Amino acid sequence: MKLSNRLEMVVSFVKPGESAADVGTDHGHVPVELVRRGIVKRAYAMDVRKGPLSKAEENIAAARMKDKIETRLSDGVQKLSAGEAESVIIAGMGGELVIHIMEEGRHVWDMVEQWVLSPHSELHKVREWLEKNGFKIVKEDMLFEEGKYYTVMDVRKADIQDAMNHAHEDESVFEKRYRYGTYLKETKNQVFLDFLKDEEAKLLTLKQNLEKQAVQSERAKESLKEVEDKLSLNREVQNEM
């Protein structure tokens, strides 16, 4: 089975262990590869939609893994019991939905050792929610595929020291960390740098358009200030790499 580069990255993030659950499994490719490659011994393929789950069942049967991969019709991790999965994968959906699934999965928080998250949007909201709910991102990676940037996160439970480290930071530091994270910057990730440059170019174009409108529009003037702030933050992160 040939996975996309994005799914290859997701699979590479899952820690070797006994079990993993793939939420929003679609056609079940990730759990099949996790078991096939020996990363986990058993897996759960979970989806809220019957159609994709039926296709996943076909793919699992074709791979002769019905005894190792169980499919479950489930809204997020609602049908996952505490202790069933060491790693939980939530990939291929928007940030708000990722947060919702995490919120609804409180019953397994203490037993899940690793969350592999790959939100397609609103990464700043996901990062903020994670930090405020006692999680930390221990690793991140980014790739560019089919005209879009994707981020994959390895998330674990934070300890008291992690919370103390951020206790006295000012608002600008919080904003920068939520918007861009820290791992990609610290590891000088080249794809992340490409992303920053692309974002800078888009912000510059938007700034130029708003400058013309701001002469006669208060709303445009407010939007211009927001864009200038984002541009300043973007360049600050680039300079730190």
Give residue-wise pLDDT tens across range 23-52: 999 999 999 999 999 999 999 999 999 998
How far is it, in rounded angstroms, from Cα 230 to Cα 131?
Answer: 21
How many residues comprise the chain?
241
| 178 phi, psi to nearest 5 deg | -70, -40
Q: How far apart are the first and last CA of the chain?
A: 37
Secondary-structure class of domain 5-169 per CATH: alpha beta
Q: What is the pLDDT of residue 214?
A: 86
Q: Supply the pTM of this predicted model.
A: 0.92
Q: Buried b vs exposed e over 174-211: b needs ≥16 C-beta within 10 Å?
A: eebbbebbebbbeeebeebbebbeebbeebeebbeebe
The domain locations on the chain are 5-169, 190-240
Give residue-wise pLDDT tens across range 192-238: 999 999 999 999 999 999 999 988 899 999 999 999 999 999 999 99
